[in-house]
């Protein structure tokens, strides 16, 4: 380990000692189907949070298609498996992306995690714990659709953001995810809805009303609306450039929508400061416990 790396780890440790009561908020971001802009939302949401003065780490837990690094045009050197196998520390795998966004490539099979001995897990927990006082938010970009891993992520997170589009298939698939989650047990995980690629505000509002109506009628839950993102050609252009639209086109409609979503979210969060957060270690520990009963 070089001197710069040693200094960085020392400063992080010192910060943790000074802020030992701080816990990061863990948000799962998912969708009912692929192709709705979930990873793109995650990345630009992270950038908008960072612009608001929040420390954000994005954890790519999409085990089929890791899109976060592709959207930024970067290639990660390490991933969480390297931490679990004690080849690297958490600071080694914490990569720097565009706009100063820090991210960690997942490439971690949760089932394999349950098979490791206590000594290995103790090292993993010690490394994960370092993020507890380092970040304000950890955003988990998960795979689309229903899977056992997704259910575990949702139940272990502080909140889940589900991204949909106005397409009927996307709405139906989003409802299927919600229905599956609320059939698991009586526990009420926190969900927020983002409608992406709406042609106008009216379409966005109708989409959220349709999904919320189904949730009210059949699941007896009220789906909280986080916000709307309008269809914007700048988004597609940014994907081709491998640059987040929040950076490449900061004044475009989609960027304005993201800013409003973050402003509204942080305002509400500030008014509910008493709400506790499990933190990132609590997230992983709950996954291990939950997996034994699913």
pLDDT category at 208 given cuts 50, 70, 90 is very high
Predicted TM-score of the model (pTM): 0.86
From the candidate CATH numbers 1.10.1040.10, 3.40.50.300, 2.70.70.10, 3.40.630.10, the one assigned to the domain spanning 22-291: 3.40.50.300
Vertex 55, ends 228 and 7: CA angle to 5°? 160
Residue 184 is predicted with a pLDDT of 72
Residue 123 is predicted with a pLDDT of 87
**28 with 160: CB under 8 angstroms?**
yes
Q: In the predicted model, is pLDDT for residue 52 greater than 60?
A: yes
Q: How far apart are CA 13 and CA 235, in angstroms?
A: 38
Helix spans in 133-271 (H): 148-156, 168-184, 201-214, 233-241, 245-248, 253-270
Two tokens, residue 178: 């919600």
Residue 56 is predicted with a pLDDT of 96
pLDDT tens-digit readout, 134-174: 999 999 999 888 887 788 888 888 999 999 999 999 999 99
Two tokens, residue 277: 């957060």
Closest to 291 measured CA to CA, from 218, 197, 184: 184
């Amino acid at each position: 380990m070089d001197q710069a790396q040693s200094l960085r780890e020392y400063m992080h440790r010192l910060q943790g000692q000074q802020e030992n009561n701080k816990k990061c908020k863990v948000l799962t971001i998912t969708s009912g189907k692929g192709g709705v802009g979930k990873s793109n939302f995650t990345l630009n949401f992270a950038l908008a949070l960072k612009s608001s003065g929040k420390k954000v780490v994005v954890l790519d837990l999409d085990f089929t298609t890791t899109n976060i690094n592709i959207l930024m045009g970067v290639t990660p050197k390490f991933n969480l498996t390297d931490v679990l196998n004690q080849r690297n520390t958490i600071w080694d795998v914490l990569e720097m992306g565009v706009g100063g966004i820090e991210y960690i490539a997942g490439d971690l099979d949760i089932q394999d995690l349950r098979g490791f001995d206590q000594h290995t897990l103790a090292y993993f927990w010690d490394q994960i714990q370092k993020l507890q006082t380092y970040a304000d938010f950890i955003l988990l970009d998960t795979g689309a659709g229903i899977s056992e891993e997704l259910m575990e992520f949702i139940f272990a997170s502080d909140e889940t953001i589900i991204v949909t589009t106005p397409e009927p298939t996307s709405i139906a698939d989003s409802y299927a995810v919600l229905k599956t989650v609320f059939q698991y047990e009586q526990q009420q995980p926190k969900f927020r809805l983002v409608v992406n690629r709406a042609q106008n505000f009216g379409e966005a509002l109708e989409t959220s009303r349709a999904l919320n109506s189904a949730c009210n009628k059949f699941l007896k839950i009220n789906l909280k609306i986080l916000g709307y993102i309008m269809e914007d050609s700048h988004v597609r252009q940014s994907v081709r450039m491998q640059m987040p639209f929040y950076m490449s086109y900061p004044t475009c409609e989609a960027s304005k929508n993201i800013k409003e979503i973050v402003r509204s979210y942080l305002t509400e969060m500030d008014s509910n400061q008493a709400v506790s957060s499990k933190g990132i270690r609590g997230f992983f520990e709950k996954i291990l416990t939950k997996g034994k009963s699913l």
